[in-house]
Amino acid sequence: MMKSSTKTAALSSYVNTAIRDYMKNHDESVDFPQEIWEELTTDLDIFSPILSEDDQALASDFISSIRMISNEFPALSTILLTQGCYGVYPILKFGTGQQKERYLDKLVKGTCKAGLGFSESKHLNSLADLETYAIKTETGWQLSGEKAKVSNSSIADILLVLAKVREAGKPDSYGFFIVETTASGVLIGEQIEKQGLLGLPLSSVTLDKVNLPETALLGGVLAGNEQFNNIIKNMQLGLSAVALGVAEGAFNKGLEFARVKRGFGKRLMDVELHQYKFADLYNKICAADAYFSSYPNQIEEDSKFVARIKLYMTKVALEVTDEILRLIGPLQKFDHVNIKRYFKDAEIIENYGRSGNSIRKEIAERWLKE
C-alpha cells in the first residue's frame, strides 16, 4: 500500500493527465468509465483509506480524493462515493464477520460493485413510509417492493436494500439486506435520463419476492434506522466534497481560459471587472473550504451539521459555475471548455440523496417554535 503523500501525488498526476484526457473525448458520454474505474481501484487503490479509520465518518483521505477527482470528472466522483459509502463503508462498519469475509476485499478492489436502495416513488418523511417489505421465512427472508432511483444499480453486483420488516405480534422494524443482483426476482430498470452527472448509472430496481438467506441481513440485526442515518450522513459529507470540487474545477477552468491572449490581443483577465469577479469567486471558494474543513470537529456533536455543509457547498458550486458561465460562456467554445457541464452536475448534486429545500426547511424549523 502506498503512503498517503505518495498516493495523493500519484492521484493528482492521474487526474491531470488520464482523467482530463478522457473527459476531452467523453464530455457528454453516459457510458460507465470502466477503464478508469479499474485503474483507480487497482493501480491507485482508491478505496483502501476507508479501511484505515474505524470511526463514524468516511476516511478524510478518501474524501480528499473524490474532491480532487471532481475537479475534472464529478460524475466519476459520485460513482466512487456510491461504492465507498454504500458498499465498502457499511460492510466494514456494520457487517458480520462472514459478510466482511465474503464482500469487503472485493468491494475495495472494485471487482464487486455496490449500490444502495432506499428511495421510493413517494417522498419518505420517515422509515415508517417505506413500502419495501421483508418477511421472515423458514430459510431467511423474502423481499418485495420497488426502489425508484438506485445509483450504480445497472453495473452493481450487490445492493444494500432498506426494507420494513413485519413480524406477527411485533412492531415494525427496519433492516438493510444484502441482495445480489443476479438473484431471482431482481429486476433492474432502464437507465434514467438526467441532465448532469453523466456516466453515473441510475435505474429503478424491482424486488419481486426475492428470497434471501438468513445471513443477508446487514450485521445480522434489524438496525436499519441507525445504519441508515449513519450512511446518509456520510453520503452528504461526500457530496459536499464533490460539490466543492465542482466549484474548484469550474473556477480553475475559467481562470485558465481568462489568462490566455485572444485574437484581439488581450486576455479576459486584463479587464478590471473580470479581475474583481474572479477575486470574489476565489474568496467564496476559500470560505467554503474553511467551512468544509471544520467537519471533523463538528460531525459528532451535531448530527445536522453535515446537511448544512452539503447545502452550502452545493450553493457555492451553483453560484461559481453560473458566474463563470456568465464571464466566459460565449467564448468557451474556442477552447472546448464545457463549464455548463459543471453547472448541470451541481444542480443534480443539490438534490442528490436529500434536496436542498428539505435541508433549508429543517434549518428553519427552530424559528417556527413559539
- Residue 111: its pLDDT value, please? 97
- Residue 56: its pLDDT value, please? 62
- Residue 332: its pLDDT value, please? 61
- Residue 263: its pLDDT value, please? 66
Grid cell locating 73: 470528472
- CATH class for the domain made up of 226-367: mainly alpha
Sequence-separated (6 or more) residues with CB below 8 Å from residue 16: 72
Q: In sequence order, what E strands does the chain have?
A: 114-117, 133-136, 140-151, 158-165, 173-180, 186-191, 202-213
Give CA–CA dist 71/254, Å, rounded. 12
- Residue 191: its pLDDT value, please? 92
Sequence-separated (6 or more) residues with CB below 8 Å from residue 123: 129
Grid cell locating 317: 458550486
pLDDT tens for residues 247-273?
999 999 999 988 887 766 788 899 899
Q: Which amino acid is located at 78 in the chain?
A: T
Q: Are domains 4-113 and 226-367 of this chain identical in fold?
A: no
CATH homologous superfamily of 4-113 equals Acyl-CoA dehydrogenase/oxidase, N-terminal domain (1.10.540.10)
CATH for 115-222 (3.30.565.10, 2.40.50.140, 2.40.110.10, 2.40.180.10): 2.40.110.10
- Residue 171: its pLDDT value, please? 87
The confidence band for 28, taking pLDDT boundaries of 50, 70 and 90, is: confident
| Residue corresponding to grid cell 458520454 | 29
Give CA–CA dist 187/91, Å, rounded. 23
The confidence band for 128, taking pLDDT boundaries of 50, 70 and 90, is: confident
Grid cell locating 304: 445536522
Give CA–CA dist 165/315, Å, rounded. 38
The confidence band for 334, taking pLDDT boundaries of 50, 70 and 90, is: low
Residue boundaries of the structural domains of the chain:
4-113, 115-222, 226-367
Select from 262, 255, 260, 297 the least CA-distant residue to 278. 255
Tell me which DSSP letter residue 72 carries: T
Sequence-separated (6 or more) residues with CB below 8 Å from residue 209: 142, 143, 144, 185
